[in-house]
Amino acid sequence: MAHYIKEVSRTFGEYLLIPSLTTKECTPDNVSLKTPVVKFRQGETSKIQLNIPFVSAVMQAVSDDGLAIALARNGGLSFIFGSQPIESQAEMVRRVKKFKAGFVVSDSNLRPDCTLQDVVRLKEQTGHASVAITDDGTPNGKLLGMITSRDYRLKTDPLDKPVVDFMTPFENLIVGKLGLTLSEANTIIWDHKLNCLPIIDDNQRLQYFVFRKDYDNHIENPNELLDSHKKLMVGAGINSRDFKERVPALVDAGVDVLVVDSSDGFSEWQYETIRWIKETYNEEVKVGGGNVVDKEGFLYLVKAGADFVKVGIGGGSICITREQKGIGRGQATALIEVCQARQEYFEQTGIYIPICSDGGLVHDYHMTLALAMGADFLMMGRYFARFDESPSKKLAIGNSYVKEYWGEGSNRAQNWQRYDMGGNSKAALKFEEGVDSYVPYAGKMKDNLEITLGKIKSTMCSCGSVTIPQLQERAKITLVSSTSIVEGGAHDVILKDTKIQ
Ligand code: RVP
């Protein structure tokens, strides 16, 4: 006979936090949002810790190298999407690891046999006026010269003029050597009144440009999430099909942490994947598992060796798994049960397994609730898809801007591995578990994070906590009735921007 769970399946909107004493030390400035990502023993600290408790979803519309750089610079971490060829995912990881604030890999390069016509075409494509002339026309070829818009006059110069006739040749260029710091590069730029400084290696090969205008944007960012070599940290999603090829390529590219990306992670496929990674890399490579929604699923992945466990089925904003397959659980209930299981496991073994709450976070206060319920960090798709830094297209619809946001289980993403149930079935989605949608465009990530994190810190202070572990220990959480939810918004007043009939 089927087993009936007495607990109703609930979500974040059904709970509120009751304030605790706010002491004078509880000010937003004193709040630390540092949080562990991978398991650790009691008394030790996690080998990977975030400076803000946010990670971006393993999704085509969210986590490419561009968003990963922006998020790591703000203290969080991206898991680069896995529904792409192994080499291109590894290349994205490599680009994040290579990123140096203010040091830009040149996107405008031509060979010496090109002409003014090529310069004009390239400028139209990239919008950039500085062009590097390298022996093979690649961003890391041997630097032979530079062209800026001051080097030619379109009115008088013939379009077939060879670039070698008007470029500034290497001998006359001011260049920086690889290894110099951003502020040293900036000094050279100011001393020589340059707009841009090429950085070369010992073999005269171009490595980066440093632009004058970028300096202010790159002044130290105190929250940056850096590894022990001062490089930005980045994660990547993998699946339980091609992991034996994908994981080595990602490790080789320098990935810091992996997650097995599956809509239902309570499976032998996932167990095998995690075991293989742990046995092959001798615990050196960190990998999270998921998604699960109860104690049983949690313990199964912990037994496999998961470094963290991700919770959530069917709660994602673009997810229709619950409607299509009838599986899932209200995100708050799932999280509460798994966090209780984690606590019991910790008391029995002294090993702390971080929990990631994935999907369904709509309002900023939901984030604080999820942390208070025991999540160590939060995975979000919709939240990040709205920002400039996400890879999806920005469009004008009516009077407002939107960005595209589509689920991994949609026909558009075709991420069949995430929804695969094994067997000899063909490599294709059999039915959709996600939708293709728009989200309101919200501007720069940094500006939005400032507001969201400001609210989280303020709520934590109301709950008498200046760290996430304190919040988890001290939070008083109450269920709310549907009538009292109405009380929580503006009510019984006429809002000034509504039309009076
Ligand atoms: P949200 O932040 O609510 O947009 O949810 C993002 C999460 O939704 C992802 O991290 C993933 O777990 C889930 N997802 C991604 N694609 C799909 C789908 O197509 N059903 N679901």
DSSP 221-290: -TT--B-TTSPBP-EEEE-SSSHHHHHHHHHHHT-SEEEE--S---SHHHHHHHHHHHHHTTT-S-EEEE
Tokens coding 332:
């708050």
Q: Which of helix, strand or coil describes residue 63?
A: coil
Q: Does residue 376 carry a pLDDT above 90?
A: yes
Domain with CATH 3.10.580.10 in the chain: 103-212
Using alpha carbons, select from 291, 284, 407, 268 the residue that is nearest to residue 355: 291
Q: Which residues pair with 400 in a beta bridge?
A: 397
Torsion of CA 243, 246, 249, 251, to 10 degrees: -50
ipTM above 0.90, yes or no: yes
Q: Which residues pair with 36 in a beta bridge?
A: 49
Tens of pLDDT, residue by residue over 178-230, are 989 888 999 999 999 998 999 999 999 999 999 886 665 556 578 999 999 88
Q: Which of helix, strand or coil describes residue 182?
A: helix
Which residue CA neighbors atom 8 of ligand 1 most closely? 316
At residue 183, the pLDDT reads: 84
Q: Does residue 461 carry a pLDDT above 80?
A: yes
Residue 11 near residue 23 (C-beta atoms within 8 A): no
- Of all atoms in ligand 1, which is nearest to the CA of residue 261? 12
Q: Does residue 356 carry a pLDDT above 80?
A: yes
Which residue in 26, 114, 196, 319 is the catalytic one?
A: 319
Query: What is the 313 CA–ligand 1 centroid distance (Å)?
Result: 9
360 annotated to a ligand binding site:
no
Using alpha carbons, select from 310, 308, 262, 202 the residue that is nearest to residue 419: 262
Topology of domain 12-101+223-488 in CATH is TIM Barrel (3.20.20)
Query: What is the 183 CA–ligand 1 centroid distance (Å)?
Result: 41
- Of all atoms in ligand 1, which is nearest to the CA of residue 432? 19
Q: b vs e for 240-254, b when ≥16 Cβ sit within 10 Å of the residue's Cβ?
A: beebeebbebbbebb
179 φ, ψ to 5°? 110, -15
Split at pLDDT 50, 70, 90, the class of 278 is: very high
Tens of pLDDT, residue by residue over 109-146, are 999 999 999 999 999 988 888 999 999 999 999 999 99
66 annotated to a ligand binding site:
no
Tokens coding 267:
């499976």
Query: What is the 489 CA–ligand 1 centroid distance (Å)?
Result: 27
User: Diameter of the chain by CA atoms?
Assistant: 87
- Of all atoms in ligand 1, which is nearest to the CA of residue 320? 20
At residue 19, the pLDDT reads: 97
Split at pLDDT 50, 70, 90, the class of 282 is: confident
Residues 6+ apart with CB under 8 A from 350: 41, 42
Best residue among 320, 408, 431, 436 to mutate for probing ligand 1's pocket (most ligand atoms within 8 Å of CB) is: 408
At residue 489, the pLDDT reads: 86
At residue 216, the pLDDT reads: 59
Q: What is the mean pLDDT of residues 257-264?
A: 96
Split at pLDDT 50, 70, 90, the class of 426 is: low
Q: Which of helix, strand or coil describes residue 495?
A: coil
pTM of the model: 0.86
45, with CB counted inside 10 A (0-12, 13-18, 19+), is exposed
At residue 217, the pLDDT reads: 56
Q: What are the pocket residues of ligand 1 if the criterion is a CB atom closer than 6 Å to any ligand atom? A: 57, 59, 312, 316-319, 321, 358-361, 379-383, 407-410, 433-434
At residue 429, the pLDDT reads: 77
Q: What is the mean pLDDT of residues 406-434?
A: 84
Q: What is the mean pLDDT of residues 84-113?
A: 92
Best residue among 62, 317, 322, 358 to mutate for probing ligand 1's pocket (most ligand atoms within 8 Å of CB) is: 358
Q: What is the mean pLDDT of residues 228-254?
A: 96
Q: Does residue 450 carry a pLDDT above 90?
A: yes
Query: What is the 317 CA–ligand 1 centroid distance (Å)?
Result: 6
Tally Cβ neighbours within 10 Å of residue 100. Answer: 17
Q: What is the mean pLDDT of residues 412-424?
A: 83
At residue 215, the pLDDT reads: 60
Q: Which residues pair with 115 in a beta bridge?
A: 162
Ranges 379-383, 427-431, 487-491: which has the least confidence? 427-431
Q: Does residue 101 carry a pLDDT above 80?
A: no
Which residue in 73, 342, 386, 418 is the catalytic one?
A: 418
Residue 29 near residue 350 (C-beta atoms within 8 A): no
At residue 128, the pLDDT reads: 87
Active site residue 339: no
Tens of pLDDT, residue by residue over 41-71, are 999 999 999 999 999 999 999 999 999 999 9
Q: What is the CATH number of domain 103-212?
A: 3.10.580.10
Active site residue 212: no
CA distance 218 to 156: 39
288 annotated to a ligand binding site:
no
262 annotated to a ligand binding site:
yes
The angle subtended at Cα 345 by Cα 344 and Cα 349, nearest 5°, is: 120
Tens of pLDDT, residue by residue over 288-304, are 999 999 999 999 999 99
Query: What is the 299 CA–ligand 1 centroid distance (Å)?
Result: 23
Ranges 40-44, 266-270, 404-408, 487-491: which has the least confidence? 487-491
106 annotated to a ligand binding site:
no
Tokens coding 307:
């470094």
CA distance 276 to 269: 11
Domain with CATH 3.20.20.70 in the chain: 12-101+223-488
235 annotated to a ligand binding site:
no
- Of all atoms in ligand 1, which is nearest to the CA of residue 415? 19
Q: Which of helix, strand or coil describes residue 486?
A: helix
Tokens coding 50:
């975030």
Which residue CA neighbors atom 17 of ligand 1 most closely? 407
Query: What is the 329 CA–ligand 1 centroid distance (Å)?
Result: 14
When the pLDDT of each residue in the chain is averaged and rounded to a whole number, the result is 94
Tokens coding 246:
């994908």
Residue 232 near residue 96 (C-beta atoms within 8 A): yes
How many CA atoms lie within 13 Å of 322's alpha carbon, on the beta-carbon side?
15
